[in-house]
């Protein structure tokens, strides 16, 4: 599973403007909809909020991976947002989150969804990957970097 197949260049924002978890989720769904228009984006946001209420997707290391399954996704759809100032996202390590990976999977795509979550969780443990994602200067550079990191 390569991120390049799921993450469109237009779904990358390196200056995500959001002050709350809900604003982050809304912004990420808007980003994802640039490459995959959704019939009911607000419904996806609602499902993501419900998921956050169960347990935070802020995995630590400055990374959060909001995710859900939705009938509105016909394949794994990703968006990436970087919030330079960080957002309080109730992360497991209690630190602000700067790097957000949105994963939207079809209802029946558990395996693909889990593989993507596992790869991103590995990022949280690799300070070099985090530093790169915090410092790359263009969506193209982030897209290429993530494509390289997701090989294998």
67 is catalytic: yes
Find the helix packing angle between 127-135 and 110-124, rounded to 10°.
90
Has residue 151 got a pLDDT over 80? no
Catalytic pick among 36, 67, 113, 143: 67
- pTM of this prediction? 0.95
Which domains, and CATH codes, for the chain? 3-149 (3.40.930.10)
pLDDT at 114: 82
How does pLDDT run across 81-97, given as a tens digit for each residue?
Answer: 999 999 999 999 999 99
Average the pLDDT over each of 38-52, 55-69, 70-84, 119-133 and give the range with the smallest value: 119-133
How does pLDDT run across 26-51, given as a tens digit for each residue?
Answer: 999 999 999 999 999 999 999 999 99
Give CA–CA dist 30/94, Å, rounded: 26
Rounded-to-10 torsion of CA 54, 97, 151, 102: 50
Q: Do 60 and 91 form a contact (C-beta atoms < 8 A)?
A: yes
């Amino acid at each position: 599973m390569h991120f390049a197949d799921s993450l469109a260049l237009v779904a990358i924002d390196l200056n995500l403007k959001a002050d709350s978890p809900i604003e982050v989720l809304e912004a990420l769904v808007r980003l994802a909809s640039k490459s995959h228009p959704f019939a009911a984006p607000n419904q996806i946001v609602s499902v993501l909020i419900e998921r956050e209420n169960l347990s935070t997707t802020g995995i630590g290391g400055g990374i959060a991976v909001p995710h859900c399954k939705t009938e509105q996704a016909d394949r794994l759809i990703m968006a990436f947002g970087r919030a330079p100032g960080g957002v309080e996202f109730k992360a497991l390590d209690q630190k602000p989150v700067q790097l957000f990976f949105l994963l939207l999977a079809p209802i029946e795509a558990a395996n693909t969804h889990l593989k993507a979550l596992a790869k991103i969780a590995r990022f949280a443990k690799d300070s070099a990957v985090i530093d790169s994602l915090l410092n790359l200067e263009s969506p193209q550079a982030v897209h290429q970097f993530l494509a390289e990191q997701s090989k294998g």
